[in-house]
């Protein structure tokens, strides 16, 4: 089986300002660098627990989106590790929406921006990419991973939700119910056989380094895997769905 640890990069100034950031490449803020440094202890404890009882466990394979914010997070969280830059782990390309706030995009793009908010799978941001294109490159990356060992990936909110959607066989909008804040780390156990059930994600992040509690996860886990909690309304994209990436 494969242990897969997904880490969202630390906070940037654009995160704090609630602006879209896809291919735009801001550095970590001071707070984001502190989040990344705090992850070093979190990941060290997780790796030590995993190594218990093994004489010489193999070192994890470490990937990172080739964005500055992801690579810097990886360098601070796993100092000395060999990190493989992976373009397929980039955030969604927001095109003309990148770097702008929700309100600024409404002013600049009006109906087109509203249409994209309602249907990110079918509407392309000018100069950007669609949700299915993000999901396709994430699926392509997942298909290259080994069936056992440990892989750590430093990436972004959109790719993490695309990975959760693919592995748990749920729509992207359902996977988004897993709140993933800057500096968060999630661990999943992926069975060697495709018929196996991927474990629910376990959050490794040290909450003392973060900014409070996350919204609740509205997915319940039955014997057959993840299902949407029927007591909750069917989710749909909201203005906040693509903010703060």
Residue by residue, pLDDT tens for the chain (245 residues) are 899 999 999 999 999 999 999 999 999 999 999 999 999 999 998 888 887 766 667 889 999 999 999 999 999 999 999 999 999 999 999 999 999 999 999 999 999 999 999 999 999 999 999 999 999 999 999 999 999 999 999 999 999 999 999 999 999 999 988 889 999 999 999 988 766 678 888 888 643 344 433 333 344 444 444 444 444 444 444 444 444 45
Sheet harboring 83-85: ordered strands across? 83-85, 61-64, 149-155, 2-8, 185-190, 202-203
Provide the token pair at 236: 């749909």
Taking the C-alpha atoms of residue 138 and residue 149, their distance in angstroms, rounded to an integer, is 19
Given this model, what pLDDT does residue 21 score? Answer: 96
Tell me, yes or no, if 91 is annotated catalytic.
Answer: yes
**Catalytic position from the list 11, 86, 91, 129:** 91
Tell me, yes or no, if 72 is annotated catalytic.
Answer: no
In CATH, which superfamily holds the domain spanning 2-228? Answer: Phosphoglycerate mutase-like (3.40.50.1240)
Q: Which residue from 166, 113, 235, 170 is spatially nearest to 4, judged by alpha carbons? A: 166
List Cβ neighbours of 187 (8 Å cut-off, separation of 6 or more).
Answer: 3, 4, 5, 6, 46, 201, 202, 204
**Catalytic position from the list 9, 31, 72, 177:** 9
């Amino acid at each position: 089986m494969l242990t897969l640890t997904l880490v969202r990069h630390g906070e940037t100034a654009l995160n704090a300002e609630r602006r879209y950031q896809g291919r735009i490449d801001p550095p970590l803020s001071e707070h984001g660098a502190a989040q990344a440094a705090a992850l070093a202890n979190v990941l060290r404890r997780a790796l030590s627990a995993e190594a218990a009882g093994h004489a010489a466990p193999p070192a994890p394979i470490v990937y990172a989106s080739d964005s500055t914010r992801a690579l810097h997070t990886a360098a601070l969280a796993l100092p000395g590790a060999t990190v493989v830059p992976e373009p397929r782990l980039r955030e969604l390309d927001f095109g003309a929406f990148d770097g702008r706030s929700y309100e600024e995009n409404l002013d600049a793009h009006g109906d087109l921006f509203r249409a994209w908010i309602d249907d990110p799978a079918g509407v392309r941001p000018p100069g950007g990419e669609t949700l299915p294109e993000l999901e396709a490159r994430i699926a392509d990356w997942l298909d290259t991973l080994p069936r056992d060992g440990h892989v750590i990936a430093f990436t972004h909110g959109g790719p993490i939700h695309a990975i959760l959607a693919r592995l748990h066989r749920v729509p992207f909008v359902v996977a988004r119910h897993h709140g993933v804040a800057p500096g968060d780390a999630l661990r999943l156990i992926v069975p060697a056989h495709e018929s196996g059930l991927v474990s629910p994600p376990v959050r490794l992040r040290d909450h003392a380094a973060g900014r409070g509690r996350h919204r609740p996860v509205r997915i319940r886990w039955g014997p057959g895997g993840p299902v949407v909690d029927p007591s909750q309304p069917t989710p749909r994209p909201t203005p906040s769905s693509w903010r703060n990436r």
